[in-house]
Chains A and B, each alone.
Chain A
Amino acid sequence: MDLPLSDFRQMAVEEFDTSKLLRHAAKQAQERGYRNFPIVDVDSHHYESESIGEILEYMDDPVLRQLALSAKQANAKSVGVLPAGVGYQDMGGRVTRYPLRRLEKTEAGVQRDIALTRRWMDAIGIDIAVMFPTPMLQLGLHPQVEVEVALARAYNRWLTERVLAHEPRIRSMLYLPFNDADASFRMVQEFGAAKGVVGFMVTSARYRPVHHNSYMRTYALLEEMGLPIAFHAGYNWDDRMVGLMNRFIAVHALGFAFYNMVHLANWITNGLPERFPKLKVLWIEGGLAWIPFMMQRFDNEYMMRSSEAPALKKPPSEYMREMYFSSQPMEMTDMAALEQTFRMIKAETQLLYSSDYPHWDFDLPSTIYDLPFLSEQAKRNILGGNAIRLFNLKLPAKKLATVA
């Protein structure tokens, strides 16, 4: 494969191997002794678009399935039914695993997502990874609600049957087709007890308010089943406000925080933590810097305007400290600010390490392990212990990842 460069040159690449790309990560795992404690990654990804043919076999609606299969063949640019927004996650190919991943060879007889995921988990030292899709993170923006529902169910069936059933190191919080509240409820009923399912996930880039009454029975069911709900951040360059920004760096930096901020604001001010006190809520892939802002902003206004959030019995930040947050992409340029953030979110019990691998801004466990202000116990909690508790994971004593 020839990668286009900044002049007449191209970079010729013949092969790609995740283990080789991540050999420095494997060295970090060895040097830091990750063999001695479990590491759980609560947000990682695969590219379900590469398996869309298989996934569509699980789609019940014959008309939609035919439409999707046809679009897959006719449209070389994308798979047709998945919304493909403008964006440059690969930085013009600078993050080479984006274009090169198609060159990677996997062993025969092992499902490709399983083979690739095991490979990077072992290199990084991760025992359990919670896996999410990639293009489907935009599916909440699909103009046809029925397509979101049909694709979500097909994907969830495919994932549970083809992946989760065969590799206990891979878990998932399944996709909730949140634009249809009834379908979301049915999805929890149908898949909530399936092997490898540790909760359900709402893609945040969408335009439905989380406090709408139609969702209450789904939250109640999740609470009853002891399954967490996660909101996975995303961007939408077609949003009018985001569209004011012409550089992807700005779209990504603000976009990935923005939707989660809106949903969290609604979650708190409508008193959902009081209505569902045992429902565990996880906010994924917004980084951490936005959380102290929300805490201070909402505490300050709440003290003056508590009549507008009358269900609350304490300041908003105290509810937020009972929620869970994934770590990546962790803002690491100001160590004092990061330490303050850890204190404010009670990181020792509420923060969950996430890699986001293989996406462009992935974080290794060393981003947590090397922090100078954490105790060894706090590091281990964040890297694994907190997730084990949240998801009620039963892990063997032996390290699952291959770490030298």
Chain B
Amino acid sequence: MAEIFVAKIAQFADGERRIVTDGKREIGVFHWRGAYYAYENLCLHQGGPACEGLLMHKVEDVIAPDRTWAGQRFSDCEIHFVCPWHGYEYDLKTGECAADRRLKLKRFEVLRRGEDLYVISD
């Protein structure tokens, strides 16, 4: 167990991310809508830096009550981070792969200590 310093909380704006390392692996830490999330920065597909890509809301098909297709929209609440290598999308709040939720990135605990933010690596 080791505590890895991430950032001064005051300097880590909502919507930003940090990539830290515990010496063995990289960990991506996100600040999103007041909460913090941390995952291993290693895509389950081919090992890309999954936490370093775009933050994109889930794309949704809009299906009308009569089951006709009425267009597309971005989700109001589900946000993904996208691996920049090949586009694998992960749910920012769970680390699950959006295309198949049985696949999950390794998750790390985030700890606030005073004005500082840490992740706990095992």
Q: Which of B79, B85, B87 has the most CB of A within 10 A?
A: B85
Q: Check A5–B42 contact: CB distance below 8 A.
A: no
Q: How far is the CA of A23 from the CA of B52 in the complex (A)?
A: 13
Known A-B contacts A21-B84, A364-B46; the reply to A94 vs B53 at CB < 8 A is yes
The residues of B that contact A215 with a CB separation of less than 8 Å are none
Do the beta carbons of B55 and A5 come within 8 Å of each other? Answer: yes
Known: A25-B47, A367-B46. A360 touches B74 (CB 8 A): no
Q: For the complex, would chain A's binding face be called helix, strand, loop or mixed by DSSP majority?
A: loop
Q: Chain B: residues with CB nearer than 8 A to chain A?
A: 15, 42, 46-49, 53-57, 59, 74, 79, 82, 84-87, 89
| Known A95-B86, A95-B87, A360-B86; contact A5-B49, beta-carbon cutoff 8 A | no
Binary interface profile of A, 15-45, with partner B (CB < 8 Å = 1, else 0)?
Answer: 0000001011101100000000000000000
Whole-angstrom distance between the Cβ of B69 and the nearest chain A Cβ: 10
Known contacts: A95-B87, A367-B46. The answer to whether A7 contacts B82 by CB under 8 A is no
CB distance from A360 to the nearest CB of B (A): 7
Q: Which residues of A contact B55 (CB under 8 A)?
A: 5-6, 9, 11
Known: A3-B54, A94-B56. 9 other contacts (CB 8 A): A5-B55, A11-B54, A21-B49, A92-B56, A95-B85, A96-B53, A97-B84, A362-B85, A364-B47
Residues of A within 8 A of B (CB): 3, 5-7, 9, 11, 21, 23-25, 27-28, 91-97, 360-364, 366-367
The answer to whether A24 touches B87, judged by C-beta atoms less than 8 angstroms apart, is no
Would you call B49 and A366 a contact (CB within 8 A)?
Answer: no
Report the bound CA distance from A24 to B55 in whole Å.
21
Closest to A97 in B: B84
* Interchain nearest-CB distance for A390 vs B (Å): 25
A289 → B minimal CB distance (Å): 17
Is A94 within 8 A of B54, CB to CB?
Answer: yes
What distance in Å separates the Cβ of A146 from its nearest Cβ neighbour in chain B?
A: 38
